[in-house]
Amino acid sequence: MHVPRVLLAGAAGLALVLSGCTGDASDGAADGNGADLTPEEEWFDQEEFDRQLAQRDIEPEGPEDEPWMQAIEPEWIDTSEWEFDDPGEATVCFSNASVSNPWRVTGFITMEQQVEALQEAGEIGDFQVSDASDDDNQQISDIQAFVDSGDCDAIIISPSTTATMTPAVETACESGVPVVVFDRGVNTDCAVTFIHPIGGYAYGADAAEFLVDSLEPGSRVLALRILPGVDSLEHRWAAAQTVFDDSDLEIIGYEFTDGDGAQIKDLVSQHLQRGAVDGIWMDAGDGAVAGLEAFEDAGQEYPVVSGEDELSFMRKWQEEELEAIAPVYSNFQWRTPVLAASMILQGEEVPEEWVLPQEAVTEETRDELLEVNSGMPSLHYARFGGEDLPGFPEAWEDR
């Protein structure tokens, strides 16, 4: 019985050593896992990429100081068939995918505040919410419950995933009430309007272009990604790959972090042990500060960094005078669906696809946004767009 034990331990050791060797070989050939800068086909659509990048420069229609009412190249459609006699009595139902991250929490508060404002103005009546906790099956049954109850005069849906939720959205459409979809899309155009910011390609490109412009050729860039397989995040990375591919930057590699500060800090520390890191690209701002702390603790100069309009990052950026950009996935989009629902119930025209502006925070716009959000918690998003709502700022401060 002694022999198998030794054999087992030996085999384990051998496997480790071998894995070390193969790692060596691939390192020599490609220096890490990020050298491949061709986006995966599944996540890259050249046409959509080009459209999003162009949309960044198009002047949106709508009031300048209310970006949540602006639309890029809208095609207005008639909604008179949905006009409701007394909108103040209309019940609006909202099927939410989840409030499982700070971005969604911030957005949902904004939505609730917008609802209150509309209710006071008598433009909508009751507002019913269901939360599916990121569970597709739960959301399908939530939507079915709304349809079965017959109480809803308009249904707003923030789908948890694209493909699985498509039939559920179709069910809602077939029930004969207007449907508004926002944030992630579905594979049907049966909704009256689909509301979303420009998109993930624009986000990833904003971040990558800033790094390319700010860093010397040959600088080493580390990419931090939350997790694979989520379309909005994959699009950001695909766009960054495309931009980096045309540049002279050296992409060390990418790491999946789960958005967990401890993991981010550990990973960045390890990369710093093995060589310089001049720039950090992130697919979302969660934990950006932890990544920067790794540089502090290693006694190294801060990198050029792309984060997000999350306040912890923006405050760090201001305090340490970093060279940084905060790409934005417009959080104020949470207001728009409620406004759209009320417009539809009043028979007003809405854009068929409502593309909201999505403007990265730069050094020029940073301080003003921090001023507006001065009392907000650190996991709040600067472009939340609720400054003119009655609950500002307490509703967002005391969450």
| Region of 37-45, 63-71, 256-264, 350-358 interacting with another protein (CB under 8 A) | 256-264
List strand residue ranges (DSSP E) for 103-216, in order.
Answer: 127-131, 154-158, 179-182, 193-197
Q: Which two tokens stand for residue 60?
A: 């949106």
Residue 3 near another protein by CB under 8 A: no
Q: Which is nearer to another protein, 53 or 226 (CB)?
A: 226
* Residue 144 binds to another protein (criterion: CB under 8 A): no
In the block, tokens 């049966």 appear at 190
Among 77, 378, 387, 390, binds another protein (CB under 8 A): 378
Q: Is 286 in the site for another protein (CB under 8 A)?
A: yes
Per CB under 8 A, contacts with another protein among 93-122 are 98-102, 104-105, 108-109
- Structure tokens that stand for 359 in this block: 């403007």
Q: Which is nearer to another protein, 20 or 176 (CB)?
A: 20
Query: Which window, 9-17, 165-173, 178-186, 318-326, contacts another protein (CB under 8 A)?
Result: 9-17
State in angstroms the smallest separation of the CB of 138 from another protein. Answer: 15
Total residues in contact with another protein, by rule CB under 8 A: 59
Comparing C-alpha atoms, which of 291, 283, 281, 205 is closest to residue 242?
Answer: 205
Q: Is the dihedral of CA 105, 108, 109, 110 positive or negative?
A: positive
3-state secondary structure of 297: helix
In Å, how far are 289, 358, 386, 394 from 389, measured between CA atoms? Answer: 30, 20, 5, 11
Per CB under 8 A, does 266 bind another protein?
yes
- What is the helix (H) or strand (E) element at residue 305, kind and residue range? strand 304-306
Helix (H) or strand (E) holding 137: helix 136-149
Q: List residues binding another protein (CB under 8 A).
A: 1-2, 4-5, 8-9, 12-13, 16-17, 19-20, 23-24, 26-27, 32-33, 98-102, 104-105, 108-109, 227-228, 253, 255-267, 269-270, 273-274, 286-287, 289-290, 293, 297-298, 312, 377-379, 399
